[in-house]
Amino acid sequence: MKKILLTCFEPFGGSPVNASEQALGEFCARLRSSPIDGAEIAVEVLPVAFAAGTRALAEAVSRHQPDAIVGFGEDTRRRYINVETRGINQMHARIADNSGDKPRKMTIDASPSAPGSRELTFPADPLVQAVGDAGLKAVVSTDAGSFVCNTLAYLLPEFGVPAAFIHLPALRQDNRDIPGAGSGSRPDGQAPRGPAHPHSDPGRLRAPATIGDLATAVAAIVAVVAADTPPTRSG
């Protein structure tokens, strides 16, 4: 049986909720009645903190020994499901993380050999297609921002298993009240960039409007990852 590790984030920036945690909670509730054949799902809620989040991710991977990892975060600037393709080697925060840290133009990995960016190792196109097949619009994104979500996106490829990172729209009315809100927000205040995927036909697909919609997208993504990931562990 293959094991898929899913991560999400706690609330941050003064908000009482995080859409990624809500969506995975709803997904897990559905999973009890509709399990994914041949896959064991583990879920970890990570702190929205550069140092603590990095440690918690490493500890979760060590504890679960997954065959694949899918990270989820929220962004108030995004309307659709965003499948990230890379993380950049930069931490640049316009608001403090939940530990009070606010790095400015710092590198995640300061070693001389560290690349400026790392590509996520699970292909984006099948995930976008799966979300579209569920009736929801997804796009490929090349910009995970420079907050904690980006840090995870940069680190995930280092674990040696297929890895993806997904930004979910926050779906809250209070987005405007969070300065610099969105764990993937750009440090220059502009909306994240990413080309629209050809499967995202606006005439056929719709933007997610509820946490239930986000859970549907999560289920579609996890099903593809589970189906396309060979088990690497015994048992």
Q: Are 66 and 122 in contact (CB under 8 A)?
A: no
pLDDT at 13: 93
Give catalytic status of residue 28 as yes or no.
no
Q: Which CATH superfamily does the domain covering 2-228 fall into?
A: Peptidase C15, pyroglutamyl peptidase I-like (3.40.630.20)
Say what the pLDDT of residue 175 is.
42
> For 21, what's the count of Cα atoms within 13 Å in the CB-facing half-sphere?
13
Alpha helix stretches (DSSP H) within the chain: 19-31, 50-64, 124-133, 148-155, 211-228
Decide if pLDDT at 189 tops 80: no
Q: Is the pLDDT of residue 78 over 90?
A: yes
Is 198 a residue whose pLDDT tops 70? no
Instruction: Convert the pLDDT of each residue in 82-131 to its tens digit.
Output: 999 999 999 999 999 999 999 999 999 999 999 999 999 999 999 999 99
Question: Model confidence at 10, in pLDDT bands (50, 70, 90)?
Answer: very high
Which of the 8 DSSP states describes residue 179?
T
**pTM (two decimals):** 0.88
CA distance 99 to 93: 12
Q: What is the pLDDT of residue 195?
A: 45
pLDDT tens digits, one per residue of 132-187: 999 999 999 999 999 999 999 999 999 999 999 999 999 975 444 343 444 444 43
Active-site residue identified among 23, 68, 138, 149: 149
